Amino acid sequence: MVAAVLGQVHARTVFERRVSAITDTLAPLLPAGARLLDVGTGDGRIAAMIAGRAPGASVEGIDVMLRPSTHIPVTLFDGKTIPHPDNSFDAVSFVDVLHHTDDPGALIAEAARVARRAVLIKDHLSETLLDHATLRFMDWVGNAPHGVVLPYNYASRSTWDRWFEAAGLEMDSFTTDVPLYPAPFSAIFGRGLHFVASLTPAA
């Protein structure tokens, strides 16, 4: 009951701002004309908006659950292996997906295998126990009402960098300037907990 009420408040006060902020941050990183695969796409709304900002871009998604209605074509997958050949997309994106998986490093490596030009990631940084507790609360409020699996698998910057290196990805850009929350909430739920990264697969 509490989760449902908080979820409704979150939807009214945060969700639309989050969609806009993530789109504004990720869209400039997608090359014009790119074929984009969005992993864990949900209803595909954010992926569609990102692709819509890049001239000539196209997008499709994969997810472990298929929703009744989606903004882009979505294919079911097992959450571990991306069901596409090597180098079959220009770019692969993850928007707040990897911390919901048991092995983020393995899925990042899959993205590096499939992407020719870019891997785009929006996710979280957790450096302290307070960071972890704050992210758990945010995840619970935003996702528990929808039955999303919540392993709370957050990582530090050094762990993310290790996953990127193991996947053969080179960092193009990394920012924690993702304005998801208005003041004063940004001081609690922002404060460097969110990042967007653009990476290039090794040649």
pLDDT mean for each 10 residues of the chain (203 residues): 45 74 95 96 96 96 94 97 97 96 96 98 96 90 73 95 98 92 72 94 84
CA angle 80/72/57 to nearest 5° reads 95
CA-CA distance, 16 to 138, in Å (whole number)?
15
In Å, how far are 53, 63, 140 from 56, measured between CA atoms? 9, 24, 37
CA-CA distance, 72 to 59, in Å (whole number)?
7
What is the tally of structural domains in the chain? 1
pLDDT at 181: 76
Residue 191 belongs to what domain range? 2-201
pLDDT at 142: 80
pLDDT at 150: 80
pLDDT at 5: 41
Please give the model's pTM, rounded to 2 decimal places.
Answer: 0.89
> How do strand 169-175 and strand 194-201 relate by DSSP bridges?
antiparallel
pLDDT at 183: 67
CA-CA distance, 165 to 106, in Å (whole number)?
12
In Å, how far are 43, 77, 84, 149, 203 from 65, measured between CA atoms? 10, 8, 18, 11, 33
By CB atoms closer than 10 A (0-12, 13-18, 19+), residue 120 is buried
pLDDT at 191: 84
pLDDT at 144: 64
Residue among 47, 124, 37 at smallest CA distance from 77: 37
Supply φ then ψ for residue 41, to 5 degrees.
-75, -20
